[in-house]
Amino acid sequence: MRIEGDTGFVLHARSWRETSLLVEVLSAGHGRIGLVARGVHSPKRQVLRAALQPLQHIRFDAVLVGELAQLRAAEALDAAPPLAGDALLAAFYLNELVLRLAPRQDPLPELGAAYARTRERLRGGEPLAWTLRRFERDLLEALGVGFELHCDGDGEPLDPAARYRLDPEHGPRRLLSDRGQAERSAAATGRALLALAVDTRPDAADLASLRLPLRAVLAHHLGPRGLKSWEMAALGRFAPSR
Protein backbone atom coordinates (compact mmCIF):
# COMPACT_ATOMS: atom_id res chain seq x y z
CA MET A 1 0.00 0.00 0.00
CA ARG A 2 1.33 3.41 -0.96
CA ILE A 3 1.40 6.22 1.60
CA GLU A 4 1.58 9.66 0.05
CA GLY A 5 1.80 12.99 1.84
CA ASP A 6 1.16 11.69 5.34
CA THR A 7 2.44 13.83 8.21
CA GLY A 8 3.74 12.89 11.61
CA PHE A 9 6.28 13.27 14.39
CA VAL A 10 9.50 11.27 14.60
CA LEU A 11 9.60 9.33 17.86
CA HIS A 12 12.81 7.37 17.47
CA ALA A 13 15.50 6.59 14.92
CA ARG A 14 18.30 4.04 15.08
CA SER A 15 20.93 2.81 12.70
CA TRP A 16 20.10 -0.24 10.66
CA ARG A 17 22.78 -2.06 8.72
CA GLU A 18 25.52 0.25 7.42
CA THR A 19 23.69 3.10 5.71
CA SER A 20 20.06 2.98 6.80
CA LEU A 21 17.77 3.92 9.67
CA LEU A 22 14.77 2.35 11.33
CA VAL A 23 12.44 5.22 12.19
CA GLU A 24 9.30 5.22 14.35
CA VAL A 25 6.76 7.91 13.50
CA LEU A 26 3.45 8.92 15.06
CA SER A 27 1.60 9.72 11.86
CA ALA A 28 -1.71 11.43 11.20
CA GLY A 29 -3.04 8.89 8.74
CA HIS A 30 -1.61 5.59 9.98
CA GLY A 31 -0.86 6.03 13.69
CA ARG A 32 2.46 4.70 14.92
CA ILE A 33 4.35 3.35 11.96
CA GLY A 34 7.84 1.96 11.43
CA LEU A 35 9.79 3.23 8.43
CA VAL A 36 12.92 1.82 6.85
CA ALA A 37 14.98 4.72 5.51
CA ARG A 38 17.64 3.29 3.22
CA GLY A 39 20.92 4.96 2.40
CA VAL A 40 20.42 8.00 4.64
CA HIS A 41 24.01 7.94 5.93
CA SER A 42 25.40 8.85 2.54
CA PRO A 43 26.70 12.44 2.19
CA LYS A 44 24.11 13.26 -0.45
CA ARG A 45 21.20 12.54 1.92
CA GLN A 46 22.11 14.77 4.85
CA VAL A 47 18.89 16.79 4.51
CA LEU A 48 16.78 13.64 4.70
CA ARG A 49 18.75 12.35 7.67
CA ALA A 50 18.22 15.65 9.50
CA ALA A 51 14.46 15.38 8.89
CA LEU A 52 14.38 11.99 10.62
CA GLN A 53 15.59 13.11 14.06
CA PRO A 54 13.33 12.63 17.10
CA LEU A 55 10.72 15.39 17.66
CA GLN A 56 10.86 16.45 14.02
CA HIS A 57 7.52 17.11 12.30
CA ILE A 58 7.66 15.64 8.80
CA ARG A 59 5.70 14.93 5.65
CA PHE A 60 6.57 11.60 4.07
CA ASP A 61 5.84 9.10 1.31
CA ALA A 62 6.31 5.37 1.83
CA VAL A 63 5.25 1.93 0.69
CA LEU A 64 3.75 -0.22 3.42
CA VAL A 65 4.54 -3.93 3.23
CA GLY A 66 3.65 -5.89 6.36
CA GLU A 67 4.63 -4.28 9.65
CA LEU A 68 7.22 -1.87 8.25
CA ALA A 69 7.08 0.67 5.44
CA GLN A 70 9.84 1.55 3.00
CA LEU A 71 10.42 5.29 3.13
CA ARG A 72 10.45 6.94 -0.30
CA ALA A 73 10.70 10.63 0.64
CA ALA A 74 10.49 12.87 3.68
CA GLU A 75 10.75 16.58 4.41
CA ALA A 76 10.80 18.61 7.62
CA LEU A 77 7.72 20.79 8.14
CA ASP A 78 9.29 22.97 10.83
CA ALA A 79 12.29 23.08 13.14
CA ALA A 80 12.30 20.59 15.99
CA PRO A 81 12.30 22.21 19.45
CA PRO A 82 15.89 23.01 20.52
CA LEU A 83 15.70 21.28 23.90
CA ALA A 84 18.38 20.62 26.49
CA GLY A 85 18.67 19.30 30.04
CA ASP A 86 15.48 18.19 31.75
CA ALA A 87 13.34 19.40 28.84
CA LEU A 88 15.19 17.11 26.43
CA LEU A 89 14.83 14.19 28.82
CA ALA A 90 11.13 15.00 29.20
CA ALA A 91 10.83 14.70 25.42
CA PHE A 92 12.55 11.32 25.61
CA TYR A 93 9.96 10.25 28.20
CA LEU A 94 7.16 11.53 25.97
CA ASN A 95 8.42 9.58 22.97
CA GLU A 96 9.04 6.44 25.00
CA LEU A 97 5.47 6.45 26.31
CA VAL A 98 4.06 6.70 22.79
CA LEU A 99 6.40 4.02 21.45
CA ARG A 100 5.39 1.59 24.17
CA LEU A 101 1.66 2.26 24.38
CA ALA A 102 0.41 3.38 20.97
CA PRO A 103 -0.54 0.41 18.76
CA ARG A 104 0.97 0.11 15.31
CA GLN A 105 -0.98 1.30 12.28
CA ASP A 106 -3.98 2.49 14.29
CA PRO A 107 -4.77 6.17 13.57
CA LEU A 108 -5.29 8.07 16.82
CA PRO A 109 -5.91 11.72 15.90
CA GLU A 110 -6.45 12.76 19.53
CA LEU A 111 -3.05 11.37 20.47
CA GLY A 112 -1.41 13.18 17.57
CA ALA A 113 -3.02 16.44 18.66
CA ALA A 114 -1.94 15.90 22.29
CA TYR A 115 1.62 15.16 21.16
CA ALA A 116 1.72 18.31 19.04
CA ARG A 117 0.49 20.45 21.95
CA THR A 118 3.02 18.95 24.33
CA ARG A 119 5.85 19.41 21.85
CA GLU A 120 5.04 23.12 21.65
CA ARG A 121 4.80 23.41 25.43
CA LEU A 122 8.28 21.94 25.68
CA ARG A 123 9.48 24.37 23.02
CA GLY A 124 7.96 27.25 24.98
CA GLY A 125 9.63 26.27 28.23
CA GLU A 126 6.40 25.64 30.13
CA PRO A 127 6.74 23.89 33.54
CA LEU A 128 7.68 20.27 32.93
CA ALA A 129 5.64 18.61 35.66
CA TRP A 130 2.36 20.17 34.53
CA THR A 131 3.23 19.59 30.87
CA LEU A 132 3.84 15.89 31.45
CA ARG A 133 0.83 15.30 33.70
CA ARG A 134 -1.43 16.81 31.04
CA PHE A 135 0.10 14.59 28.38
CA GLU A 136 -0.26 11.48 30.52
CA ARG A 137 -3.94 12.30 30.99
CA ASP A 138 -4.44 12.93 27.27
CA LEU A 139 -2.51 9.80 26.28
CA LEU A 140 -4.75 7.59 28.44
CA GLU A 141 -7.84 9.26 27.01
CA ALA A 142 -6.67 8.84 23.42
CA LEU A 143 -5.92 5.15 24.00
CA GLY A 144 -9.42 4.62 25.40
CA VAL A 145 -8.25 3.77 28.92
CA GLY A 146 -8.75 7.13 30.60
CA PHE A 147 -11.33 7.78 33.31
CA GLU A 148 -13.54 10.45 34.78
CA LEU A 149 -11.65 12.88 37.02
CA HIS A 150 -14.64 14.77 38.44
CA CYS A 151 -15.95 11.78 40.37
CA ASP A 152 -14.73 8.52 41.85
CA GLY A 153 -15.24 5.02 40.51
CA ASP A 154 -18.67 4.84 42.13
CA GLY A 155 -19.84 8.10 40.61
CA GLU A 156 -19.48 10.17 43.78
CA PRO A 157 -18.10 13.72 43.36
CA LEU A 158 -14.48 14.06 44.40
CA ASP A 159 -13.75 15.68 47.75
CA PRO A 160 -11.01 18.30 47.23
CA ALA A 161 -9.65 17.64 50.73
CA ALA A 162 -9.48 13.85 50.36
CA ARG A 163 -6.81 11.67 48.77
CA TYR A 164 -7.39 9.17 45.99
CA ARG A 165 -5.49 6.33 44.44
CA LEU A 166 -6.09 5.76 40.74
CA ASP A 167 -7.43 2.33 39.87
CA PRO A 168 -6.51 1.62 36.22
CA GLU A 169 -9.87 -0.06 35.63
CA HIS A 170 -12.22 2.01 37.78
CA GLY A 171 -10.68 5.45 38.24
CA PRO A 172 -10.24 7.36 41.51
CA ARG A 173 -10.73 5.41 44.73
CA ARG A 174 -10.88 7.38 47.96
CA LEU A 175 -8.40 6.46 50.66
CA LEU A 176 -9.74 5.89 54.14
CA SER A 177 -8.42 8.19 56.83
CA ASP A 178 -6.72 5.31 58.67
CA ARG A 179 -4.32 4.56 55.80
CA GLY A 180 -0.60 4.86 56.50
CA GLN A 181 1.50 7.84 55.52
CA ALA A 182 3.27 5.95 52.72
CA GLU A 183 0.00 5.02 51.06
CA ARG A 184 -1.33 8.55 51.43
CA SER A 185 1.84 10.00 49.96
CA ALA A 186 1.35 7.85 46.85
CA ALA A 187 -2.23 9.12 46.35
CA ALA A 188 -3.43 12.23 44.55
CA THR A 189 -5.34 14.98 46.29
CA GLY A 190 -8.90 15.57 45.20
CA ARG A 191 -7.93 19.17 44.43
CA ALA A 192 -5.24 17.98 42.02
CA LEU A 193 -7.55 15.59 40.17
CA LEU A 194 -10.26 18.23 39.86
CA ALA A 195 -7.72 20.72 38.53
CA LEU A 196 -6.41 18.17 36.02
CA ALA A 197 -9.98 17.52 34.89
CA VAL A 198 -10.49 21.16 33.92
CA ASP A 199 -6.91 21.71 32.73
CA THR A 200 -6.11 24.25 35.44
CA ARG A 201 -2.65 24.03 36.98
CA PRO A 202 -2.86 23.20 40.72
CA ASP A 203 -0.43 24.48 43.31
CA ALA A 204 2.96 22.81 43.66
CA ALA A 205 2.04 20.34 46.40
CA ASP A 206 -1.16 19.18 44.69
CA LEU A 207 0.60 18.94 41.33
CA ALA A 208 3.34 16.78 42.87
CA SER A 209 0.67 14.43 44.23
CA LEU A 210 -0.37 13.46 40.69
CA ARG A 211 2.93 11.92 39.60
CA LEU A 212 2.91 8.58 41.43
CA PRO A 213 -0.79 7.76 40.92
CA LEU A 214 -0.55 8.43 37.18
CA ARG A 215 2.67 6.47 37.01
CA ALA A 216 0.91 3.50 38.62
CA VAL A 217 -1.78 3.61 35.93
CA LEU A 218 0.80 3.81 33.16
CA ALA A 219 2.76 0.93 34.71
CA HIS A 220 -0.39 -1.20 34.67
CA HIS A 221 -0.77 -0.66 30.93
CA LEU A 222 2.94 -1.06 30.21
CA GLY A 223 3.15 -4.44 31.88
CA PRO A 224 6.17 -5.87 33.70
CA ARG A 225 8.77 -3.95 31.70
CA GLY A 226 9.02 -0.35 32.83
CA LEU A 227 10.46 2.66 31.04
CA LYS A 228 14.08 3.62 30.59
CA SER A 229 12.97 7.11 31.59
CA TRP A 230 11.97 5.80 35.00
CA GLU A 231 15.33 4.09 35.39
CA MET A 232 17.03 7.40 34.62
CA ALA A 233 14.86 9.11 37.23
CA ALA A 234 15.84 6.50 39.81
CA LEU A 235 19.51 7.25 39.06
CA GLY A 236 18.89 10.95 39.52
CA ARG A 237 19.50 11.76 35.87
CA PHE A 238 15.93 12.77 35.08
CA ALA A 239 13.21 14.17 37.31
CA PRO A 240 9.92 14.16 35.33
CA SER A 241 8.13 15.64 38.35
CA ARG A 242 9.91 18.99 38.07
Q: Supply the CATH number for residue 214's domain.
A: 1.20.1440.120
Task: Tell me the per-residue pLDDT of 6-34, one tens digit each, with 9 for 90 and over.
Answer: 999 999 999 887 778 999 999 999 999 99
Question: Is residue 128 situated within a structural domain?
Answer: yes
Task: Tell me the per-residue pLDDT of 225-237, one tens digit each, with 9 for 90 and over.
Answer: 989 988 887 766 5
Give pTM, 2 decimals: 0.92
Three-state DSSP class for 12? strand
Task: Clarify whether residues 108 and 50 are in a common domain.
Answer: no
User: Closest by alpha carbon to 160, among 203, 112, 100?
Assistant: 203
Three-state DSSP class for 89? helix
Cα–Cα dist 76/84, whole Å: 20
Task: Clarify whether residues 91 and 186 are in a common domain.
Answer: yes
Q: Say how many domains are in the chain.
A: 2
Question: Is residue 240 situated within a structural domain?
Answer: no
The reported pLDDT for the residue numbered 241 is 45
Question: Is residue 242 situated within a structural domain?
Answer: no
CA dist list (Å): 210 to 11, 102, 180: 25, 22, 18
Cα–Cα dist 40/23, whole Å: 11
Task: Clarify whether residues 145 and 46 are in a common domain.
Answer: no
The reported pLDDT for the residue numbered 28 is 97
The domain that holds 12 is classified in CATH as: 2.40.50.140
Mean of the pLDDT values across residues 42-54? Answer: 82
Task: Clarify whether residues 9 and 117 are in a common domain.
Answer: no
DSSP symbols for 119-141: HHHHHTT--HHHHHHHHHHHHHH
Mean of the pLDDT values across residues 96-119? Answer: 97
Task: Clarify whether residues 173 and 103 are in a common domain.
Answer: yes
Cα–Cα dist 83/227, whole Å: 21
Task: Clarify whether residues 55 and 121 are in a common domain.
Answer: no
Task: Clarify whether residues 69 and 52 are in a common domain.
Answer: yes
Task: Tell me the per-residue pLDDT of 143-178, one tens digit each, with 9 for 90 and over.
Answer: 999 999 999 989 999 999 999 999 999 999 999 876
Q: Per DSSP, what are the bridge partners of residue 74?
A: 60
The reported pLDDT for the residue numbered 242 is 44
Task: Clarify whether residues 140 and 107 are in a common domain.
Answer: yes
Which one of 42, 76, 110 terminates a domain? 76
Task: Clarify whether residues 137 and 165 are in a common domain.
Answer: yes
Cα–Cα dist 67/75, whole Å: 22
Among residues of the chain, what percentage have pLDDT more than 70? 93
Task: Clarify whether residues 126 and 193 are in a common domain.
Answer: yes
User: What is the band of 103 on the pLDDT scale with cuts at 50, 70, 90?
Assistant: very high
Query: How, if at all, do strands 2-16 and 57-65 pair?
Result: antiparallel
User: What is the band of 43 on the pLDDT scale with cuts at 50, 70, 90?
Assistant: low
- On average, the pLDDT of the chain sits at 91
Residue 41 belongs to domain spanning? 2-76
114 vs 238, more confident: 114
Are the C-beta atoms of 240 and 229 separated by less than 8 Å? yes
Query: What b-and-e string marks burial along 166-200, b requiring 16 or more CB atoms within 10 Å of the CB?
Result: bbeeebbebbeeeeeeeeeebbbbbbbbbbbeeee
Query: How, if at all, do strands 57-65 and 171-174 pair?
Result: unpaired
CA dist list (Å): 175 to 44, 102, 153, 181: 61, 31, 12, 11
User: What is the band of 65 on the pLDDT scale with cuts at 50, 70, 90?
Assistant: confident
